[in-house]
């Protein structure tokens, strides 16, 4: 009796030990034969607002500038965006969109009226970069334009005529004006935002009021020449679930293709956001904890949308996301210029992994912003340019675009700070059209390498390649003196044995592993 009981206890102890070992192990199971949802390439979009040195000095310097340019566009920035293969670019805002009157930005630049950019620094805007300049730039870099129209200070007629000016292929006053200004054929753009942050800088509206305004504006946002607009309603400010509920309830689904959502990662408070390059490990992990909360945010808004749109026809358009820190010392507070470290790289990796996860509902996302503003992918200084750690993560993640989302199961050890815990690993997996399995892995642990055991199911793996973005420390960044402190490089510390892949994931790193 005692022997049997002892043996039973020993078996129980062994089982408990086995359970502990299994759960403590860093393990990833990727089901390469299980996937039906496509990761929309537009999840990897960008945002260029008339803010600080984003447009002027970032994208546009004018044809007479000493900075090497092509028709006024900076050659170095243009080439960097071509290399990144950005799928779309949002313009002209942001808050600026709802004080922008498009007719001020067409015709001879010498005759264009000036305006004051009241939202961002109170600087004078000369309107030398307008509709033609933006749409021609989008064509040069091979990206789809996404225009946000003025609802806050504009009119239905103004927005309707702008769409006609851009897209109408027949005979009309707006089409003739476009031709007079040098563009014979319509641009046939698809993505159109009806206002921006209408709950705040776009008009301080209630959701009920905005829903009615949206219906009015969208009615006169016409389709021309077989080109169908993808109309995006101005959605909620992060956790305002009521805004989403009211819009989904009051706007017919056949009038709305997308619903925007904005979410910024702020380490401290809006009054004291913390520094971009000087932070503790606790602040670093708190930033990543807040970034990862976008998973819960999307889930909650999706749940509300599912009540009215169970077929998920209306996409979540996360057209503003990223980190927001204090501006760099000595710069204009209204220009939102901040440096970009490995911490930002991890925010990008975690966020993109989460967007991929929700690809059935998330149809587009736009990092804020492209050049010299917030979590920029590019920084410029007169004739010089650097690529940020965030740029390199977007470059690393290119295989996920238009790939099939794969199911996976991850067991990861945790990183503790204060009373909080975070999984050290963040993962996304997809399969490209040629059958290649793409696995993006972020190890947010500041100083611990993690040995990850990957079980590959549904694929006969024969070849593995990998690339990495990493640096010596979590606060490493690229400067104009040292441009390659953080960059993309080949990675070899893995071993494939049939359907098992062992990867030694370095501390503070982001990986893209490709299996075929």
Say which of 49, 286, 320, 423 is annotated catalytic.
Answer: 320
Distances (CA, A) of 250 to 89, 207, 210, 243, 245: 29, 9, 10, 11, 9
**Helical (H) or strand (E) element with 8:** helix 2-24
What the block records as the tokens of 435 is 């059958």
Cα–Cα dist 186/327, whole Å: 40
Looking up tokens 């044995």 gives 497
User: How many CB atoms are closer than 10 A to CB 36?
Assistant: 8
Catalytic, 320? Answer: yes
Q: Say how many C-beta atoms besides its own lie within 10 A of residue 283's C-beta.
A: 17
Distance CA 215, CA 504 (A): 53
Kind plus residue range of the DSSP H or E element containing 23: helix 2-24
- Which of 475, 496, 497, 477 is CA-nearest to residue 487? 477
Q: How many CA atoms lie within 13 A of 30 on its CB side?
A: 29
- Separation of alpha carbons 495 and 506, rounded Å: 15
Are 107 and 178 in contact, with CB atoms under 8 Å apart? no
Which pair of structure tokens corresponds to residue 201? 């800088």
Active-site position among 49, 133, 144, 197 = 197
- E strand intervals along 4-58: 27-31, 45-47
Q: Is 197 a catalytic residue?
A: yes
**Is 380 within 8 Å of 53 (Cβ atoms)?**
yes
Burial level of 59, CB count in 10 A (0-12/13-18/19+)?
A: buried
- Active-site amino acid positions: 197, 320
């Amino acid at each position: 009796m005692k022997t049997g009981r002892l043996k039973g206890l020993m078996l129980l102890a062994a089982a408990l030990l086995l359970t502990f070992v299994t759960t403590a192990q860093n393990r990833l199971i990727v089901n390469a034969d299980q996937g039906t949802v496509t990761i929309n390439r537009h999840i990897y979009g960008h945002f260029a607002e008339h803010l600080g040195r984003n447009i002027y000095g970032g994208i546009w310097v004018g044809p007479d500038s000493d900075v090497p340019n092509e028709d006024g566009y900076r050659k170095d920035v243009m080439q960097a965006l071509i290399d990144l293969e950005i799928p779309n670019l949002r313009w002209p805002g942001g808050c600026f969109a709802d004080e922008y009157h498009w007719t001020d930005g067409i015709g001879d630049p010498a005759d264009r009226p000036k305006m004051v950019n009241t939202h961002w620094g109170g600087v004078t805007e000369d309107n030398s970069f307008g509709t033609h300049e933006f749409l021609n730039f989008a064509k040069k870099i091979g990206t789809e334009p996404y225009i946000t129209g003025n609802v806050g200070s504009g009119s239905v007629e103004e927005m309707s005529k702008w769409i006609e000016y851009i897209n109408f292929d027949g005979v009309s006053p707006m089409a003739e004006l476009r031709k007079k200004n040098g563009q014979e054929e319509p641009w046939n753009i698809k993505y159109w935002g009806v206002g921006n942050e209408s709950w705040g800088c776009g008009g301080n509206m209630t959701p009920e009021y905005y829903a009615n305004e949206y219906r009015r504006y969208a009615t006169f946002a016409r389709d021309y020449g077989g080109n169908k607009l993808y109309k995006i309603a101005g959605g909620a400010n992060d956790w305002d679930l009521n805004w989403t509920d009211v819009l989904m309830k009051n706007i017919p689904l056949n009038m709305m293709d997308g619903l925007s959502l904005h979410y910024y990662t702020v380490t401290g408070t809006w009054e004291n956001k913390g520094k971009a390059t000087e932070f503790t490990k606790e602040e670093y992990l708190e930033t990543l904890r807040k970034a990862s909360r976008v998973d819960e945010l999307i889930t909650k808004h999706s749940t509300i949308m599912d009540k009215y749109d169970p077929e998920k026809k209306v996409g979540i358009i996360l057209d503003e996301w990223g980190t927001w820190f204090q501006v760099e010392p000595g710069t204009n507070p209204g220009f939102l210029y901040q440096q970009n470290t490995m911490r930002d790289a991890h925010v990008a990796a975690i966020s993109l992994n989460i967007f991929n996860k929700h690809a059935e509902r998330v149809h587009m996302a736009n990092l804020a912003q492209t050049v010299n503003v917030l979590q920029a992918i590019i920084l410029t200084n007169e004739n010089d340019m650097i690529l940020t750690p965030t740029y390199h993560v977007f470059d690393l993640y290119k295989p996920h675009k238009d790939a099939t989302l794969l199911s996976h199961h991850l067991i990861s050890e945790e990183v503790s700070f204060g009373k909080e815990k975070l999984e050290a690993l963040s993962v996304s997996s997809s399969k490209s059209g040629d059958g290649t399995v793409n696995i993006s892995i972020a190890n947010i642990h500041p100083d611990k390498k993690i040995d990850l055991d990957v079980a590959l199911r549904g694929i006969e793996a024969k070849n593995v390649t990998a690339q990495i973005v990493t640096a010596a420390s979590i606060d490493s960044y690229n400067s104009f003196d040292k441009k390659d402190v953080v960059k993309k490089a080949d990675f070899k510390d893995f071993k494939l044995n049939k359907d098992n892949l062992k990867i030694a994931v370095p501390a503070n790193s982001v990986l893209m592993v490709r299996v075929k």
